[in-house]
Amino acid sequence: MGATHTHDDGPDRAHRRPDGVTDTTVEALGALSKALETTERARGHLYTLHQLTGTADFELDQAVELLRAAGHDGWADRVQREILGRNVIPGHWTFQIVEAYNATYYEPFRALEAAAREDLADGRDHLYEAELKETRRTGGHPDHTARPDTPPR
């Protein structure tokens, strides 16, 4: 990809590839970063599962109360006994699933991605995207500046 830019009209230093870093290395780090971003999204869905399941569990309190008020004690008892506070998978509430995912998969993945960037690109992040931006922006256009600190022309 190897975008061309001047130092005053291009990515900031943190988003410029260090000397000797190849296109393939930038692409590989970009792919690794993209996979981590997908993992971030998956993790967010786990938190959604966690919060929605917890909300549903608390909503069962009203269902139990209304079933009792309507004279359906047997159903109220059954909801309370069989569903309220139930594990979502054997031995686990959703917070335990989130904790296990974080410890077993997410944190090691995040650490590995950071270590690869540190070792292969002096810790610089989003090199692939920064170079992609350089190939796609229109030089001199006020809405296509390279950096947030670049004044519009």
Tell me whether residue 89 is in a domain.
yes
As a whole number, mean pLDDT of residues 4-9 equals 55
Domain count for the chain: 1
153 has pLDDT over 60: no
Confidence band for 150, pLDDT divided at 50, 70 and 90? low
Tell me whether residue 153 is in a domain.
no
Q: Which domain holds residue 53?
A: 43-133
Q: CA 127 to CA 116: how far, in whole Å?
A: 13
